[in-house]
Amino acid sequence: MPKKRISWKEVYITFGVIGYIVWMVDMTIAAPFDLFDIGNPQKEGLPEITLFGIIPSCLSVIYLNLYEKNRKWFLVILFFILSLTLEWLTTKVGLMKHWNILWSSPVHFIAYAFYLPWHLKFIRRN
């Protein structure tokens, strides 16, 4: 996908920040309360790296690359559905166990509707 509306600096910052946030939420909330298991719960591996470090960051970068104020709600709904579909698929193939996509629905909505646009404004302001 061609880079349209964000700079390489914004891509790198977004990729790192989103990956960091997702890992921190997993380590501070999901893991201690054993909310779900990914792959083999006894060891970390490629599924965790992919699901926590790569996929959310890639979706965030793509969202911001396509983001325009006049198409905001269309993109919010599109990426909200895409994110929930990806989570649903990971539960159906058995990668994520004991998970309900309704738990993450508000997080996805807030991320796409409010956090990511603010995040981009914050990067551009500094």
The pLDDT score that the predictor gives to residue 24 is: 84
Cα separation, 83 vs 105, in Å, equals 9
The residue range of the domain holding 53 is: 8-125
In a domain, 2, yes or no: no
Structural domain count of the chain: 1
In a domain, 72, yes or no: yes
Q: Are 86 and 55 in contact (CB under 8 A)?
A: yes
In a domain, 49, yes or no: yes
Q: Give this prediction's pTM.
A: 0.84
The pLDDT score that the predictor gives to residue 9 is: 94
> Which contacts of 88-95 are long-range, i.e. CB under 8 A and separated by 24 or more positions?
90/51, 95/38, 95/39, 95/47, 95/51
Q: Which is it for strands 37-38 and 96-97: parallel, antiparallel or unpaired?
A: antiparallel
Each residue of 69-104: pLDDT tens digit?
A: 999 999 999 999 999 998 888 888 777 777 788 888
